Structure 1
Amino acid sequence: MFDFEKLDVYQKAKQFNKEIYSFLRNSKTIDSVSKNQLRRASLSIMLNIAEGSSIFSEPDRRNFFVISRGSAFECAAVFDFLKEETILTEEEFQQFYAKAEELFRMLFKMIQNLSNN
């Protein structure tokens, strides 16, 4: 098992990604650009957590977590757009948004811890 697989934030990011992929597979109304962007951003959260956890330099590790957090913000923006376009229901929006918010709060704590060293 790799170290990143032991991280709660990674496991939550993986679950978030799976839920987004499932939503995208079942949605017929999302345009290809939004679908692709959401797919890439949600995967980026996981991948940057994984890659960042392998880095020895704290400033470099912090940078990967910052990128991962930015991808969570990107997902939130896509959800906001899809809600405005009535592609996401209010309930779906709230569920996805809450999970993105949890991820970026967890990542913020990780970034803060690396910044304080």
Structure 2
Amino acid sequence: MATITRFEDLEIWQLARNLANEVFQTYTCSEPFLKDYKLREQINGSSGSIMDNIAEGFERNSRNEFVNFLSIAKASSGEVKSQLYRAFDRRYITQERFDKLYNQADEIGRQVGGFINYLNSSLYKGAKFKNRQTDRPNPKS
């Protein structure tokens, strides 16, 4: 597996970006949402928070900090799902639109959770600890 050097290369960030764009287009361009300012801003904010926290955690160059920010991103995907229920219950979106956006947010949450598990099982601490690494490759291998 190739080393990822930019957060933009992470599939979970790309999926989160797509979700944020879809939420923005759905919630800022349709009439019911124009009047429900608070819900519109909350769902736009929480969908953007997913991608932003993935990026910020990646840039911290520390596994533990990255995991912490991924945890926040995962929580934001749950927040988006909850807000979708509110939008659906208020009849702002159709069942089809709800299902599509909900499934995207749910998939992102699952993938972020899997990535957290992967990172937690890794010995690599992060680039900021490179000089103090105890997880250097064994030169005899």
> TM-score higher than 0.5 here?
yes
What does the per-residue CA deviation read over 1:72-112, in whole Å, with 9 as the maximum and x for residues that have no partner? 10000000111111111110100000100110011001111
Q: Percent identity?
A: 28
Paired position in structure 2 for 1:56: 61
SS in 2 for 1:29: helix
TM-score normalised by structure 1 residue count = 0.94
Paired position in structure 2 for 1:26: 29
Unaligned runs of 5+ in 2: 123-141
Paired position in structure 2 for 1:5: 8
Q: Contact 2:12–2:112 at 8 Å: present in 1 too?
A: yes
Please state how far the C-alpha of 1:26 moved relative to its aligned partner. Answer: 1.4
Stretch of structure 1 that moved more, 50-59 or 65-74: 50-59
Measured in 1, the distance between the counterparts of 2:42 and 2:68 equals 21
Structure with the bigger RCO (C-alpha within 8 Å, sep 6+) is: 1
> Within the alignment, does 1:43 sit opposite 2:59 as a pair?
no
The structure with more radius of gyration: 2
Q: Contact 2:57–2:66 at 8 Å: present in 1 too?
A: yes
Counterpart of 1:81, as a letter, is R
Paired position in structure 2 for 1:103: 108
SS in 2 for 1:88: coil
Measured in 2, the distance between the counterparts of 1:58 and 1:79 equals 31
Measured in 2, the distance between the counterparts of 1:58 and 1:27 equals 40
> Within the alignment, does 1:77 sit opposite 2:82 as a pair?
yes
Q: How many residues align?
A: 116
Please state how far the C-alpha of 1:113 moved relative to its aligned partner. Answer: 1.2
- Deviating runs (4+, > 4 A) in structure 1? none
> Within the alignment, does 1:14 sit opposite 2:28 as a pair?
no
Measured in 2, the distance between the counterparts of 1:104 and 1:114 equals 15
Paired position in structure 2 for 1:89: 94
Q: Which structure dedicates a bigger proportion of its chain to helix?
A: 1
RMSD: 1.1
Counterpart of 1:6, as a letter, is D
